Every structure is written in structure tokens, then in C-alpha cells.
Amino acid sequence: MRAVVFSEYVPPEKAEVKIVDDPLPGPNDVVIDVKAAGVGFVDGLIVQGLYQVKPPLPFTPGGEIAGVVADVGPEVKTLKPGDRVMTLAPSGGFAEKAKVRAVGCVPLPEQLAFEAAAGFTVAYCTGLYGLKDQGNLKKGESLLVLGAAGGVGLAAIDIAKTLGARVIAAASTDEKRALCVAQGADETIDYTKDGWRQEIKSMTDGHGVDLVYDPVGGDQSELALRSLGHGGRHLVIGFASGTIPRIPLNLPLLKRCRIVGVDWGGWMREDPARNIPILTQLMDWVAEGELKPPAGQAYSLDQAGFAMRDLLDRKVVGKAIVTP
Ligand SMILES: NC(=O)c1ccc[n+]([C@@H]2O[C@H](COP(=O)([O-])OP(=O)(O)OC[C@H]3O[C@@H](n4cnc5c(N)ncnc54)[C@H](OP(=O)(O)O)[C@@H]3O)[C@@H](O)[C@H]2O)c1
């Protein structure tokens, strides 16, 4: 089969596609014909050895996998060839086939296409855990989403609308802002222009927003925190800007607001079972048509390195996926 292989930690555009042996399932594994694999911001860091997790070399990146079960190990009773599934794996998704643990595979409802499923698990689980469990978002509250046209941002818009919130989406280009509106955002702002805080103030009758969802960091974080109303919550999701901001601690005091760290991955790895209600709720909403996960921007296997590069360079509109 063909697979993207990194034999050393190098910039993502140096990715090589090689012919390697087809994987065989162990007793509790399945082999998936990969139809789509999500590209996360972290993939572009992992392949360079710049992330806290360093996979042993050589390796095939790609942890969010959607496809069809092709083969099952002898102990696997819950899945059979032909089943449509999605799963999270440590790596291996940017390939024609991937060997994964059967226990982590989630059957896909018919409403979820492979191209949407590949970007679903991380973004949507982070969104529901962040907005509801950590942010206590309630119907009628207002939410400002930074980096709103990215994979994590679009999921936050979709979930917040399902929870009945009013969503203000911040993104850098007209094309990205249009995508946010298509996903359900009520209003948008261009947060690359000075004075956007004033816009938020006007949009909220001077009160400020109830919640900020912040996967961007950098200079925008403090401005977003200053846009909160009293009792607001600022959810720290990530630092796509590459800069971890330092926040003056008088701000949460004066605003009587909370800064809340949202590390869905760490929380889930501590005890994977506690993510089951989150994923079940999300799957129910998908089946009921409440959520509309967007199909990602597709790259071929040969373009997988450029997908990671484009993500790092802020060029992707929506979620990036690799479709082998
Ligand atoms: N806490 C968690 O559990 C969790 C889970 C998943 C992901 N994350 C983190 O969340 C962040 C976003 O992930 P994602 O998959 O949504 O990434 P993404 O699809 O690349 O979106 C990130 C967005 O950030 C904005 N951005 C602002 N400055 C940027 C810069 N200098 N370079 C690149 N993008 C920039 C871009 O929007 P504009 O161009 O519109 O500004 C972009 O759309 C990452 O840091 C990731 O590690 C955290």
C-alpha cells in the first residue's frame, strides 16, 4: 500500500510517500481502508519533532481516521468487514490502510460522511467538553470564537448553536468569515483589524460576551478576555498563533471572570470511559440533524505534507483532511 512516511523529523512539506507492506490485524485490531484522515495543527509540529509527543521513527502521521473495516483480528466480535467507522489512533492515518484497536472504533451514522468524520472526534469532543462541561455555556448566552474558521472553531460554532447560544465568529478573511456564517455563526468580526473590541461591545449593548473560545492565543487572547462581561469565562483551547500570551491578573479580578484551561486530550487519556457520554451525545445530535459537521478541505496522499504546511501557514479554510 502507499503511505506517507517520515524517517526523520523534518518540515512537513518534506513528507515522502512510500510503498510499504499492508498492515495485518493483531488479535484485537481491525484494518481500515482509510477514506479520509483529519490533519490537525499538531501534526505539522509532530513531524518536525516540535511537539511534546515524539513518535519513534519511521512513522506515518495522521491520528483521526475514517473509513471502512477491511479485516478484523480473531478476537474482534463487535466489528466486521464493510462497517463504516471512525477512530483516533496515535498515528498511521495518512496511508491507504491503517491498523487500529477495535475498541476505539465508533460506527458512523449514515448522516456522517467520511470527509466530515475525519475531522470530527477531536474538534467536536473538545467543543462539547469545553463549552458545556468547562464553560457551562447556557442557552441565550453569547460566545466569541477566535480562529472560528479552523477545525476546532467551526465545531465550536456548530455545538454552541445547538446549545442555543449566540455566536460571534472571529476570522481573518472574508472567505473564512463566510464559512463561519454558513456553519451557523450569528455575526462575524475581522480580528486582524484594530478596534474589534469596540465592535464586540456594540454587538452586546456594552455588556461584553459571556464566553470566549480561544484556540489562537497571542495578542488576541488579552483583547478577547477584555471583551468579556462580568462573570464571563475565557476558555483556553490552544495557541495556533504560536505565542502563549501572558495575561495581567488584575483583569480576571476586575472582570470577576474565570480563565479555564481546556485540555480535552489529557482529560480523555486519563480515563477514556468518561468521554463516552460526550461522544454519545454528539452522535445523537448528528443522527438527529442538530449538528452539521463540515466536510474538510481535501488533499491527496501526495499532498499530505502540503496540507500540514498550509495549516501551519494559516492558509486552510475549514478543516484539512487527507483522502488516500
Ligand atoms: N485543548 C484541546 O483539547 C485542543 C484540541 C484540539 C486542538 N487544540 C488546539 O487548538 C488549536 C487550533 O486547532 P485547529 O485544528 O482548529 O487548527 P486550524 O484548523 O489550523 O485553525 C486554527 C486557526 O487559528 C487562526 N490563526 C491565528 N493565527 C494563526 C497563525 N499564526 N498560524 C496559524 N493559524 C492562526 C487561523 O484563523 P484566522 O486566519 O482566521 O486567524 C486558523 O483558522 C491548535 O493550537 C490545537 O493544538 C486544542
CATH number at residue 133: 3.40.50.720
Determine which residue's CA is closest to atom 29 belonging to ligand 1. 241
Atom of ligand 1 nearest to the CA of 240: 45
Same domain, 36 and 156: no
Query: Ligand 1: does its nearest atom lie under 6 Å from the Cβ of 122?
Result: yes
Above 90 in pLDDT, residue 163?
Answer: yes
**Ligand 1 pocket: which of 126, 144, 154, 237 to mutate (most atoms within 8 A of CB):** 237
Same domain, 127 and 250: yes
Cβ neighbours of residue 16 closer than 8 Å, sequence gap 6 or more: 4, 5, 6, 7
Above 90 in pLDDT, residue 298?
Answer: yes
Whether residue 279 is contained in a domain is answered as no
Whether residue 244 is contained in a domain is answered as yes
Q: What number is the average pLDDT over the span 258-272?
A: 95
pLDDT category, 239, cuts 50, 70, 90? very high
Same domain, 310 and 259: no
Same domain, 93 and 35: yes
Identify the pLDDT of residue 313.
94
**Dihedrals φ, ψ of 39, to 5°?**
-105, 115
Cell numbers linked to 171? 476570522
Same domain, 145 and 15: no
Above 90 in pLDDT, residue 284?
Answer: yes
Angle (CA) 268-269-271 rounded to 5° is 70
Q: Is 185 left (phi over 0), alpha (psi -120 to 50) or beta?
A: beta
Whether residue 281 is contained in a domain is answered as no
Same domain, 84 and 168: no
Cell numbers linked to 151? 477545525
Whether residue 70 is contained in a domain is answered as yes
Q: What number is the average pLDDT over the span 108-130?
A: 96
Cell numbers linked to 224? 478577547
- Pairwise pLDDT comparison (41 vs 117), residue with the higher score: 117
Above 90 in pLDDT, residue 194?
Answer: yes
Cell numbers linked to 233? 469565562
The alpha carbon of 215 and the centre of ligand 1 are apart by a number of angstroms equal to 5
Identify the pLDDT of residue 53.
84
- The mean of the pLDDT values for the chain is 96
Percent share of the chain, pLDDT over 70? 100
Identify the pLDDT of residue 292.
95
Identify the pLDDT of residue 60.
98
Contacts of the segment 303-308: beta carbons below 8 A, 24+ positions apart: 304/4, 304/15, 304/17, 304/39, 304/61, 304/62, 304/94, 305/4, 305/12, 305/13, 305/14, 305/15, 306/12, 306/13, 307/12, 307/39, 308/12, 308/13, 308/15, 308/39, 308/43, 308/44, 308/47, 308/61
Domain total in the chain: 2
Query: Ligand 1: does its nearest atom lie under 6 Å from the Cβ of 239?
Result: yes
Above 90 in pLDDT, residue 304?
Answer: yes
Rounded CA separation 61/50 (Å): 14
Same domain, 213 and 313: no
Q: What number is the average pLDDT over the span 30-45?
A: 96
Above 90 in pLDDT, residue 218?
Answer: yes
- 55-107 per-position pLDDT tens digit: 999 999 999 999 999 999 999 999 999 999 999 999 999 999 999 999 999 99
Whether residue 232 is contained in a domain is answered as yes
Overall size of the chain counted in residues: 324
Same domain, 127 and 10: no
Same domain, 147 and 211: yes
Query: Residue 8 sits in which domain range?
Result: 2-120+294-322
